[in-house]
Structure 1
Amino acid sequence: MFFLVIFTGFIIQIIGDLLYVYYSLNNTSAVGYFIDPFWQIPLLLKGLAGLYSQEHQKETNSTSPHYVKSNYSIFLYVSVIFLLLLIIYKNYHHIDFLIIGFSLTVLLIIVRQLSIMKKNEKLMEEYKYLAYHDPLTSLYNRSKFNVDIQEVLNQAKSNGNMAALLVIDLDRFKGVNDTLGHYIGDELLKEFSQRIQTVLQERGIVYRIGGDEFLILLPQITDMSLILTVVESILKGSSKPFSIKGNKLVITPSIGISIYPEQGEDAELLLKNADAAMYLAKEKGKNNFQLYNPTIHNLLFRKMNIENGLRGAIEKNQFSLHYQPKVDMRTGKMVGTEALLRWEHPELGIVSPAEFIPVAEETGQIVSIGEWVLKTACEQIKKWQTAGLPLIYLSVNVSVRQFQQNDFIQMVRNILQETHLDAHFLELEITESIIQNLKQSTEILYDLRVLGVRTSIDDFGTGYSSLYALKTLPVDVIKLDKSFIDDLNDPANQAIVKAITEIGTSLNLQVIAEGIEEEQQVKMLLKHNCRYGQGYLFGRPVPAKEFEKHLLNNRNFV
């Protein structure tokens, strides 16, 4: 309506101007004549348009119809050409080079302006497209989502239906960028976008809001089964490998879901809750979906408190080490101890390592925490040695992230020098996941061997282990995972324990069983030539002062 009033006013004014020019050329007075309303009416219409725009600001702020702009501009140039032809007609018998030159100049200007207009219109269309589309995948972007979700929620509210919002984050996508480069990563995002559109069909709208994060809006949901069908289709469709420039890549999504109106009645809350559900999906092993529920916020809030608490835990002396004996089951004597980290938070209380270690890994704080553990444990074992207590070796767990630090070897060397501990009393326990990067791990393990530090593979048999890696890696000990020890009555577990022990012995590796809780397990392990063990049967992890009693008594543990 606004543009129609404005357009009408300009048309009337142009007609009045043309009539005035015509009568002026014919030496006929035009002022005070019938054409005066042609100037007054446009002013009135412009005023009305101004009043209308104040009352309907949203409508007038929207993009004006393309045909109004285009037709209005063309009409102006047609009017100029008409006026030029009128001048030539009236001066037909007196045309000179000046009039011809002027006419050609005006025509050239008009042609150039029309050409520029055409280019500008094309450019504006591109800008409009980019305003609502992601340039890499051609999916809708966050701006378009902000517009669409308001319309979807309003429609769902008026119809009494549900609407669903899905937040999708690709698991381990950063690893693709880091190892294969951003070009492969971009191509993978394009392929994933196409696949998800194919899976979704007409059931919803897909948006890419940045990086490897996508949104899906499902409007007019009448049944929860539709949401589950869509989510399961996405997970199934993503399970097939992507072929990118000769690379076969498998990328899995973690999906969080929030539903209008149960989990939010506005766009901000729906997005926040779906995002929280997505993070829970990642916590639960990735490649799955989670529907938002209020307990998720409690979990995420606790995780945030743990993350924040870890930052100052070392300075505030909240960490402590407990020590658990390692025993020669043939003689019953203690031969070593494992240092285990404990954390007591002033508000959260005692936090399980199974809860805070993954957070420390994720945030990178495990590097500084691991250094504190190694230095504190080395200082303690040196104190016991200085006090004349029995000599035993010390085991300290090292995270993969810590192990892969460029200065890891130098850090171990510095701690040994500062604590004056002989390197052969130190054993570093590393998980099987180091085998993922066999070349780098082999180099680091060789450097540790040169230092005189022993190394062991923890939880052997549950992860990435292979016989080739076992032969290649310069390690000294393999620790049988507790899962094999729990049920040694199972013939399959017995066969595994026997096989690993025989392989370890043939490779000159010490084999130690962890998680021993019963005398019967000791007998069974000794039967299969597994000599060393660790577990609650011999002693639970205890603080340093209490552990000293074990050293002073030098008792028989078996």
Structure 2
Amino acid sequence: MQLNTNGQKFINIIIGFSRDFPFTVNPGEHSEKTYPSLLELINPDDIPPITEMFTDVSQDEEKRFEAHCRFMVNDEYHWFFLSCKAVYAEYGRPVRFEGTMCDVSTYLETAGDDLVYNEFRKKHNIKLSELKKGAPRLADVLDVDYLTSIQRPFAVPQLYSAIFDEKGKLICAPKTQHKSLSPNDFAYQKKKNIRINHLISGTWILGAKTQELLDDNIQLWETLVQTVSRMANAFVVVLSEMDNSQNANKLLGQNVEEQILLNNIYAIIMQSKSADIALNSVTELIGDYFHLDRITIIDRDDFTQELCWCKDYKYRHLPLEIDGDTALDCASIRDDLSLTSSAFSDTDTNDLTKFGIKSYAIFKLINSGAFDSLIMFQTIEKEHNWTQRERKQLRNISQIISSLMMRKETQDKLEQSQKLMRQLAFYDAIYNIPNRARLNKDLDKIIKRNTKGSLIAFKVTNTRTLSAVYGHTYSDMLLRSIAQYLKDLPVKDIGVYYFTNAIFMLNLPDCTDNEAKNLVEMLIHRFSKPWKFGEDEHSIHCSLGIAFYPENGEDAEELCKAASTAMYRAREFKQNSYAFYSGSLERTRMFAASLEQHIRECINDGMRGFSLRFQPSFSAVDGSIIGCESFVRWHDDQYGNIPNSTLFPMAENLGLSHVIDGWVMERSCEFCKEIQDAGFENFTVSVNLTAGEPQSAEIVTQVRHALEESALPPSSLILEIPVKANIFYSDSTHILHDLRTLGVNIAIDKYGTGNISLKILKNSYVNLVNLPAKLFMNHEDEFDTELVSSVIHLAKCRELTVCVKGIEDKEQLDTVQKFDIDRIQGYYCSRPLSLTEAKTVFTESIRIKGC
């Protein structure tokens, strides 16, 4: 994946502290873009420092970070300087990083990736004695050519740039800058010191003819000053480490034999792949050189011993329980360690004889300036008298082992951080299963082996409703329980992955067509029943798509696309269904994508092609018109009449349902008010929502706006919400409360379809209940007749208005009129009317036939 910088040098960024670490550039601007994963943008070698940064913040050790790392831009890696601070949510949880990044590739001129070390090889003429006197000269640490080239961005008219040494003498300026210029020629200036070892070794001055010009360049200048300072200090640190190593060489290298030992130790350290391997090899070398039998490390806190090296296997069985009650309670050892940080046995004193140790040399190991643990060099077969030369050698070798152990600790932490990073990169922390990146990697590996199998896309289609009613956290935990169920399916070699947007992918290698079909049918059967989560039960709607490899895709991307296409086709067909992928589905998907784009264009173009239809509602007592229900329709010149079953899901996917709802609400209220002004004061209008139920509190704002603009009395508006809507069964009823506070009426729509819930009739926010006419037509079953009568009786007890909808013939009309109902509606009474037809019909006094 590549980063698109649009040629910008400074870019505002946000790094999400969540799954896959989403990376956003230019947030809040026209050019804002979000990449799904930071780890896919940066050089893999730069993951460790980013890993450490995330770990430090997660452990609340750091609040901000600054680092150089490489991003892929235009097919090559560019160096960027990142400066960000952590943003925390309540309870101190980090949620994101905010800051800036600057492209500094042109200012970090180096042949390879090891920037500091490659440049340092050119600086061998700096001596340690110069460091002790103070800060070395900036021109000695960094080449003048480098200091000159880094000033190139400021070599423009009306700008001045120059770097001076600590005595005020000019080191260099941009090559194209006129030599006669001086800081005194510029009224507006900024000055920053460049420090090495906390001492001033140079000063960079930036001048401009105008304050505005200075402000435009100040941010880049400050970043480059910091870059120069960091590079210079890095060179000096490396120099000091090498000089310290040279001093250690002189100290230990008293003769050729000792020099060989030292060279071998450093060769082992430099060539070993890890600190563990280096530590084992170095202790073995030391044991052979000093004719030791065993070397152990003693922990400072609990004084437990860890066997580091042993000459003979039999010595492993000697006691290692030298703890605070033994070794450090021995007077001579305790006194020697407190005075000199070391302790030696001699002919007169050996406090560890009872442990089978004939002689010992113990040293404190120092980690970051503090006593960390002890190292014990031991002989077991015979006594050994430690000479002053050996004591001096072992003391200095212990310092080397201290650095090795510190390196080992650092590597262990880095490995843990990298393991955590891999976990975060390939695992979804919320659903506790592998993620999309892991799926792509596994699928590509399987397909390359020419293995046949199936990929099933499993989508929970009503998560948006669940999130709106119960909250996102509850919805995520519910999905996690589903993911765990899928993960535990008794299917051989099944792999379950979280893909995106409540979609799970089930990978079934070596799976036949029939086996895949049987599995999805079993899943559909399972999710057709209520899903128990905690104390609650939920109706889970799902759609599944099946693709086969390698037939339907030659790589992971194609295969996932095929399975997703089949899944969306199943979703269009009906809920809780599945479909197999085929070439025709791809053509259907492309048509759907084109239609979605056209829907967006028409909605944004003043609802082009949209219109309303009005179906009258009649009084069940005298047959007079008392209101209507409004329906939205869309006719397009290119695509013709598009059914609502196609329009509404696409509008919801596009996030434009609320736009359609707002338009329908406004036009319906305007129409109702117009009919009332014509003389029908009690005329009402019923409105359905595109999503079926209120998705957010925004519907309250839309209703309030429509009522205010039309001046329609709130009691004349009826909002119809399906009986299956979660909002009737959850504790999140604030939306219903706010709607009723406005004065509008709320109707339970399609009551009696599916399972009949009597509890919903007790909802205090409901005014009306709509019953389907088919519910009344089972004449042969007396129980059904009694059930309908009981529902109507309960509704009347709650003072609810009862409306029967969907009356399609005279038999249905005659049947429903035998019951105590209030309103009737259907094609037999009147078909839906256009705006012009509705105005004509509603302004005339008519009665339906037979009333």
TM-score of the aligned structures, taking structure 2 as reference length: 0.48
Tell me the equivalent position of 2:831. Answer: 540
Residue of structure 1 in register with 2:504 after alignment: 214
Q: Which residue of 2 aligns with 1:42?
A: none
Is it true that 1:297 corresponds to 2:586 in the alignment?
A: yes
CA contact (8 A) 1:442 1:472 kept: no
Determine if the alignment matches structure 1 residue 373 to structure 2 residue 667. no
The residue that corresponds to 1:134 in the other structure is 427
Question: Taking structure 1 as reference, are residues 475 and 180 closer, same or farther at Cα in structure 2, changes over 3 Å only?
Answer: closer
Q: Deviation of residue 315 (structure 1)?
A: 0.7
Rounded to whole Å, the distance in 1 between the matches of 2:441 and 2:745 is 61
* Structure 1 residue 382 displacement after superposition: 3.3
* Segment drifting more, 314-323 vs 412-421: 412-421
Instruction: Return the offset for 1:468.
Output: 4.0
In structure 2, the partner of 1:33 is none
Contact 2:676–2:683 (CA<8 Å) still a contact in 1?
A: no
Residues 416-445 of structure 1: CA deviation (Å, up to 9, x unaligned): 343233445443333332422474365245
How much does 1:507 deviate? Answer: 4.0
CA-CA distance at 1:283 after TM superposition? 4.3
Quote the offset at 1:236 in angstroms.
6.6
1:435 partner amino acid? F
How far is the alpha carbon of 1:304 from its aligned partner? 3.8
Match of 1:92 in 2: none
1:255 CA drift (Å): 3.3
Structure 2 residue 146 is matched with structure 1 residue 146: no
Contact 1:254/1:289, CA 8 A, preserved across alignment: yes
Q: Equivalent of 2:555, from 256, 260, 266?
A: 266
Q: Within 1, Cα distance between the matches of 2:629 and 2:440?
A: 54
Deviations 1:213-256 (CA, angstroms, capped at 9, x unpaired):
433322233x3223234445656777795666x77778676432
- Secondary structure class of the residue paired with 1:278: helix
Q: Which amino acid aligns with 2:427?
A: D
Equivalent residue of 1:317, what SS?
coil
For the residues of structure 2 that align with 1:349 and 1:252, how far apart are their CA atoms?
Answer: 30
Distance 2:446 2:700 in 1: 57
1:419 paired residue number:
710
Closer/same/farther in 2, CA of residues 479 and 292 from structure 1, 3 Å limit: same
1:477 aligns with 2:762: no
Q: Is the 8 A contact 2:658 2:699 kept in 1?
A: no
Deviations 1:107-163 (A, max 9, x none): 44135415633762675377357536526466444444333323321322xxxx632
Indicate if the aligned counterparts of 1:337 and 1:392 stay in contact, CA closer than 8 A: no
1:462 alignment partner in structure 2: 753
Give the match's secondary structure for 1:542: coil
Distance 1:25 1:258, change over 3 A: same
TM superposition shift of 1:280? 3.6
Report the more deviating stretch, 145-154 or 176-185.
176-185
Tell me, yes or no, if the aligned pair for 1:456 and 1:479 is still in contact at 8 Å.
yes
Query: What amino acid maps onto 1:168 in structure 2?
Result: F
Report what 1:435 is aligned to: 728
Alpha carbons 1:445, 1:473 under 8 Å: kept: no
Query: Separation in 2 of the partners of 1:180 and 1:476?
Result: 24
Matched ranges for 1:390-401 at <5 A? 393-399=683-689
1:479 shift after superposition: 2.2
State the distance in 2 between where 1:177 and 1:457 align.
Answer: 21
Separation in structure 1 between the aligned mates of residue 699 and residue 530 of structure 2, nearest angstrom: 38
Between the aligned partners of 1:172 and 1:213, the Cα distance in structure 2 is 11
**Aligned residue type for 1:296:** L
Identity among equivalent positions (%) equals: 23
Match of 2:307 in 1: none
Contact 1:435–1:465 (CA under 8 A) maintained in structure 2:
no
Cα distance change of structure 1 residues 473 and 550 upon mapping to structure 2, 3 Å threshold:
same
The equivalent residue for 1:341 is: 632
Tell me how far apart the structure 2 counterparts of residues 323 and 485 of structure 1 sit (CA, whole Å). Answer: 25
**2:456 touches 2:547 (CA, 8 Å); kept in 1?**
yes
Q: CA deviation at 1:349?
A: 1.4
Residue 402 of structure 1 deviates from its aligned partner by 6.7
Residues 199 and 491 of structure 1, relative CA distance in 2, 3 Å threshold = same
Alpha-carbon distance, 1:269 to partner: 0.9
Counterpart pick for 2:456 among 139, 150, 166: 166
State the distance in 2 between where 1:549 and 1:428 align.
Answer: 25
Matched position secondary structure for 1:527: coil
Does the 8 A contact of 1:196 with 1:234 survive in 2?
no
1:274 Cα shift? 1.0
CA contact (8 A) 2:274 2:408 kept: no
Q: Contact between 1:131 and 1:143, CA under 8 Å: does it hold in 2?
A: no
- Pairing 1:204–2:494 present: yes
| Corresponding residue SS for 2:427 | coil
Give the letter for the 1:273 counterpart: A
Contact 2:531 2:537 in 1 (8 A): yes
Amino acid in structure 2 at the alignment position of 1:155 = R
**3-state SS, counterpart of residue 273 of structure 1:** helix
Are 2:454 and 2:547, in contact at CA under 8 Å, matched by a contact in 1? yes
Task: Give the Å deviation of 1:414.
Answer: 3.9
**Equivalent runs, 1:109-124 vs 2, <5 Å:** 109-110=400-401, 112-113=403-404, 116-117=407-408, 120=411, 123-124=414-415
Q: Residue 330 of structure 2 corresponds to which residue in structure 1?
A: none
Aligned to 1:279, which of 554, 568, 582? 568
Q: Distance in 2 between matches of 1:187 and 1:371?
A: 32
Distance between the aligned counterparts of 1:528 and 1:254, measured in 2?
40
Match of 2:63 in 1: none
**Contact in 2 for aligned 1:475/1:509 (Cα 8 Å):** yes
| Residue 369 to residue 173, structure 1, CA distance change in 2 (3 Å) | closer
SS of 1:259's equivalent in the other structure is: strand
2:621, 2:513 → 1: CA distance? 61
Amino acid paired to 1:512: C
Q: Conserved in 2, the CA contact under 8 Å of 1:195 and 1:237?
A: no
Distance 2:514 2:720 in 1: 47
RMSD: 4.4
> Contact (CA 8 Å) 2:737, 2:765: kept in 1 or not?
no
Structure 1 residue ranges without an equivalent (≥5): 1-21, 27-65, 87-94
What is the aligned residue count?
482
How many angstroms apart in 2 are the aligned matches of 1:412 and 1:250? 29
Shift of 1:271: 0.9
Q: Where is the strand percentage greater, Structure 1 or Structure 2?
A: 2
Please give the alpha-carbon distance, in whole angstroms, between the structure 1 residues aligned to 2:473 and 2:715: 47
Alpha-carbon contact 1:485-1:515 (below 8 Å) kept: no
Deviation at 1:546, TM superposition (A): 1.9
Tell me if the contact between 1:430 and 1:458 (Cα under 8 Å) persists in the aligned partners: yes
Q: Which stretches in structure 2 are left out of the alignment for 5+ residues?
A: 1-252, 258-270, 292-385
8 Å Cα contact 1:480-1:514 kept in structure 2? yes
8 Å CA contact retained: 1:459, 1:482: no
1:105 is paired with a residue of what secondary structure?
Answer: helix
Distance 1:278 1:260 in 2: 16
**Deviates most, 517-526 or 125-134:** 125-134
**Counterpart for residue 49 of structure 1:** none
Preserved contact between residue 435 and residue 441 of structure 1 (Cα < 8 Å): no
| Partners of 1:309 and 1:402 in 2: CA distance | 25
Cα distance between partner residues in 1 of 2:618 and 2:567: 45
